[in-house]
Amino acid sequence: MRQIVFTDLDGTLLDLVTYSYEKSLAGVNRLKEIGVPLIFCSAKTRAEQEVYRRKLGIFHPFIVENGGAIFIPRGYFPFSFEYHKSVAELLVIELGTSYKEVGQLLGKVREESGFHFRGFGDMSDEEVAEETGLDIDSAKLAKQREYDETLVIASEAKQSHITSGEIDKFLQKIKQAGLNWTHGGRFYGVMGDNDKGKAVKIVTGLYREMWGAIETIGLGDSLNDLPMLSTVDIPILVQKRDYTWENIDVPNLRKVQGIGPEGWSRAIKEIFGG
């Protein structure tokens, strides 16, 4: 049976603070060696993910912005399938609401709720860099959003006068506006009716059409990975920076020792050897 691996990036394949993939490189190289596709499934934008695809030599399909879209290299699958548009040599299956529409709906929520938040679209490149720890060039790529918005809520920006109850009310307002939200390691993502799990199911279906029976593995670290982990055959959680695991309840969930990329490589070794 052929296998494919879906992975989150920040806090999983990449260190949450430094964004380094040094400690996961052994696992990445093992998958390349044995021909197992590695599918990025992240909140990161297409522009951000393409950097890591080039650096790591990973040229499989990839899922952006919490399932907002799937990008598939032209000719990757030896059959035709439905897609919405093409960008360079990538075919795009769009599952999410456009960034413009998400922004308009968030604007209405801001007016009606009076709640203080800032999206990456409200910030300069320098401000995004400061919030995320990215360098300026990477911050520019993070701002190139197409399907969701990343929010910094006041309490997340060290303004403790915002209570958890107020945040809960704000998140309810987002739902009432017809949007969905997810919480990653540090930020809130706001999007339409898409999630990582829906995108994973579509990609899995394409591989099944190509190969027949397959086994899917998913690796993540935080709550926004729940839809992905709920969809794959073997769900795996790596540790967060405080050596704990996210409180996620998924059948057959494996919890691996090791923070972020260290745990990621350990999990790959346990499954694939090397």
pLDDT given for residue 161 in this prediction: 64
What pLDDT tens digit does each residue of the chain (274 aa) get? 999 999 999 999 999 999 999 999 999 999 999 999 999 999 999 999 999 999 999 999 999 999 999 999 999 999 999 999 999 999 999 999 999 999 999 999 999 888 888 999 999 999 999 999 999 999 999 999 999 999 988 644 444 467 788 889 999 999 999 999 998 767 899 999 999 999 999 999 999 999 999 999 999 999 999 999 999 999 999 999 999 999 999 999 999 999 999 999 999 999 999 7
Nearest by Cα to 64 from 138, 140, 148, 141? 148
- The fold for domain 2-96+195-272 equals Rossmann fold (3.40.50)
pLDDT of 206 reads: 98
CA distance 195 to 137: 27
Q: CATH 3.40.50.1000 in the chain, residues?
A: 2-96+195-272
| pLDDT number for residue 185 | 66
Q: Which two tokens stand for residue 81?
A: 């399938």
**How many beta carbons lie within 10 A of that of residue 154, not counting itself?**
17
**Residues 148 and 190 sit within 8 Å (Cβ to Cβ):** yes
Helix, strand and coil percent figures for the chain, each rounded to 5: 40, 25, 35
The pLDDT of residue 184 is 73
Tokens found for residue 189? 């993502």
Every domain range in the chain assigned CATH 3.30.980.20 = 99-191
Query: What does the pLDDT read at residue 157?
Result: 40
Q: In whole angstroms, what is the distance from residue 197 CA to residue 11 CA? A: 18
Catalytic amino acids? 8
In this predicted structure, what is the pLDDT of residue 154? 60
Query: What global pTM score does this model have?
Result: 0.93
CA distance 146 to 140: 13
The CATH superfamily label for domain 99-191 reads Putative mannosyl-3-phosphoglycerate phosphatase; domain 2 (3.30.980.20)
